[in-house]
Amino acid sequence: MHAPRPLLSRRAGPLSGTVRVPGDKSISHRALMFGGLAIGETRISGLLEGEDVLATAAAMRAMGAKVTRDGEGAWRVTGVGVGGLSEPDAPLDLGNAGTATRLLMGVIAAHPFTAFMTGDASLRSRPMARVTVPLELMGARFVSRSKGRLPLAIIGTETPMPISYTLPVASAQVKSAVLLAGLNTPGETSVIEPEPTRDHTENMLRHFGAEVRIEEVPEGRKATLVGQPILKAADVVVPGDPSSAAFPVVAACLVPGSDIIVSGVGLNPLRAGVFTSLKEMGASIEEVNPRTEGGEPVADLRVRYAPLHGVEVPPERAPSMIDEYLVLAVAAACASGRTILRGLSELRVKESDRLAAIADGLTACGAKVTVEGDDCIIDGTGTPPKGGVTIAAKLDHRIAMSYLILGAVTAEPITIDDAAPVDTSFPGFADLMNGLGLKIEGVA
């Protein structure tokens, strides 16, 4: 167990400056995995060096890929080819990395060896059955605690079977696990999703030379991978993580007089729902110097303070902003009028129950929040809530960061009981935000 690291955030003056947020976590995980499954040497720049991604690097190394760090964000991966991974000597400890766990389950499922996985207390509490179900259809076997929870054993199959699988719930992680298992499977593996989810896996499969077809079918969006391709090493430039960019963006939206630039942000339309929602609320967010890097759309974001008003965020937007609802709820608590966030069932099974974290934390701060089924209703007064509370982060990095942003505008400071988990996704968060003008400080 780590020692808790409490932080306090107090009211700040106007924010200014230019920052670059850490590399996209989703793309960083995948770059290491695909580099390890390709032939040749892949160079990665801008890799997020948070604990989650480092766990992926360690896991790929443990299964035979050569993974080397050359400098800040600069990594090289020499791969072993599709189907070429070897059985790890020890259990793979994925820490808090849910994405890495689910994607690697897919990778390992189609290899003829047994691997064991574990993680921290938060990861061990998260259900993995939604991933094991389709992978068992392909021939893998799993031994786990109830609901597929870690620690678990993955017993890979020598003869993986291609499947066409319809996701019961839209999930980029489950889709990716099936497609990654499909890499070492003969024939064509298809996943049908009811709502489009982030498509980094499909983009990166193509980037490394695999054939992927996308088509609209009556049930939704169908992604089909032609199995057993020869993946060739391909350099990857990792864009700034839109989930991380959401924090300085919301801070600048809320603190009067602010004018900042967040450079090099990935704006994949299946990830950028939070920026769409903020613009609908009246935020001043301008996309400057749009470009394409590594198959992904990228731009610099200029963000200026503007008063926000309540909106209704539709449920079909959830997959494009599932990690950003917490910080969007912070913005809604400071806006004028009613904001309704619809269709948030997925938030109950993240690093913590984030729907409860929104309702309980904002209510404690003095905001008016109600939860009706899977909908969250926030009634803002146009001024920030009072604050003056200590929030339990529950080992969840996004809870910690969201309430530290809120503390920049509340009348009284907000304390986070433990900000140590922030390093999993956003190393240097407090220093970067303080460089823009926030007042985040340690608590004795």
Write out the catalytic residue numbers.
323
Q: How far apart are CA 43 and CA 121, in angstroms?
A: 33
How far is 93 from 432, CA to CA, in rounded Å? Answer: 29
Q: How far is Cα 127 from Cα 55, in angstroms, rounded to an integer?
A: 19
Quote the CA–CA distance of 197 and 206 in Å, as a whole number: 17
For the chain, the residue count is: 444
Residue 139 in contact with residue 67, Cβ under 8 Å?
Answer: no
Smallest Cα–Cα separation from 320: which of 372, 284, 373, 267? 267
**Which residue from 268, 263, 260 is spatially nearest to 300, judged by alpha carbons?**
263
The two tokens of residue 429 are 């968060």
Name the strand (E) or helix (H) holding 132: helix 129-137
Strand pairing class (296-304; 284-293): antiparallel
CA 311 to CA 283: how far, in whole Å? 12
Handedness of CA 436, 440, 442, 444 (dihedral sign): positive
Question: H helices within 209-271, ranges in order?
Answer: 242-254
The SS3 of residue 328 is helix
Q: Are strands 188-193 and 212-217 parallel, antiparallel or unpaired?
A: unpaired
Helix or strand (DSSP H, E) at 123: helix 121-124
Q: Which residues make beta-bridge pairs with 381?
A: 336
- Residue 142 identity: F
Rounded Cα–Cα distance for residues 145 and 187 (Å): 32
